[in-house]
Amino acid sequence: MKSNRDFLIEMIDQYTTSLLQRARFILPNSEDAEDMVQDVFIVAFEGIENYKGNSNIKTWLMGILSHKVADYYRKKYKATGNISLDTFFDESGSWKSDSILKTWEETDESLLNDGQFKKTLEHCLNKLPEKWSIPVKMYYLEEKKSELISQELNITTTNLWKILQRSRLQLRECLDTKWFNQ
Amino acid sequence: MITKIIHSLFLSCKKATLFIELNNGNNLNVLQKIRLKTHLKICKYCKSYEEKAQRIDRVLNNELHSVNIKNTNELEEKIKKRILGSE
């Protein structure tokens, strides 16, 4: 039988890269992301007895990572605060600017293979306050399970949707001015 | 004038952009879906926004899988040392 020690070493060799990839998606600062991956393995090692084969190892580790992100978020952001849409809509709820009508010519394919576009996207994501960017990124990491995410982050689902709406409006504007119609 | 009528009958653009988000996450009921669809048929602004919102959705999905990670050997050694080092 494999010892816990061997089991851990195997896990570290096999899953550090994919864990770090996810952690970096959520926390662009590489030091924070690396710390978080370390913490995941510490928790995993402590809980190794509880694990022993019930779910897929990767799923288990990714679950621990999500919990860590949620802890980080809950500690840092106790309340979501007011999410205002006044930059985008007037008091009747109509668009303030016509800029939304401008077309985005490029195809998805050419965008996704463009390193410069990737940089612009990262720039725009970094301009979102972390209080919003973490829920948005969790929404993608957790395959849009909105109930689960709002529970973990301790925000209401209503607020989660508002954060998603507000963030996407801002991302649209940022990408429009920094990339498509610069 | 026409936008005022649209808003009172169906949805404001502010609300429609929230519905677009909910729809993207598969969280609209049938009635809400009809309201959104109707709004998008008459409002070119929100129609244009919806297309862009979907694009951002695809791009973010892709971004999640394409974060560039350099060699992680050093980090792996560091973690092993930290957890097992004292044994």
Residue B2 has pLDDT above 70, yes or no: no
How do residues A71-100 score in pLDDT, each as one tens digit? 999 999 987 678 899 999 999 899 999 999
Question: What ipTM was estimated for this complex?
Answer: 0.89
Closest CA of chain A from B23, distance in Å: 11
Closest CA of chain A from B5, distance in Å: 11
Considering the domain A98-180 in this protein, what is its CATH number?
1.10.10.10
Give contacts of A 15-74 with B, CB under 8 A.
16-17, 20-22, 24-25, 34, 37-38, 41-42, 45
Please name the CATH architecture into which domain A4-76 falls: Orthogonal Bundle (1.10)
Within 8 A of B55 by CB-CB distance, chain A residues are: 104, 108
Mean pLDDT score of chain A: 91
Q: Within 10 A of A124 (CB to CB), how many other CB atoms are there?
A: 21
**A3-12, A13-22, A120-129: which has the minimum mean pLDDT?**
A3-12
Domain ranges of chain A: 4-76, 98-180
Give the C-alpha distances (Å, rounded to integers) separating A25 from A38, B26, B35, B70: 16, 24, 35, 14
How do residues A151-182 score in pLDDT, each as one tens digit? 999 999 999 999 999 999 999 999 999 999 88
Interface check for A121 against chain B (CB to CB < 8 A): the answer is yes
Closest CA of chain B from A170, distance in Å: 11
Within 8 A of A136 by CB-CB distance, chain B residues are: 60
Q: How far apart are CA B66 and CA A89, in angstroms?
A: 34
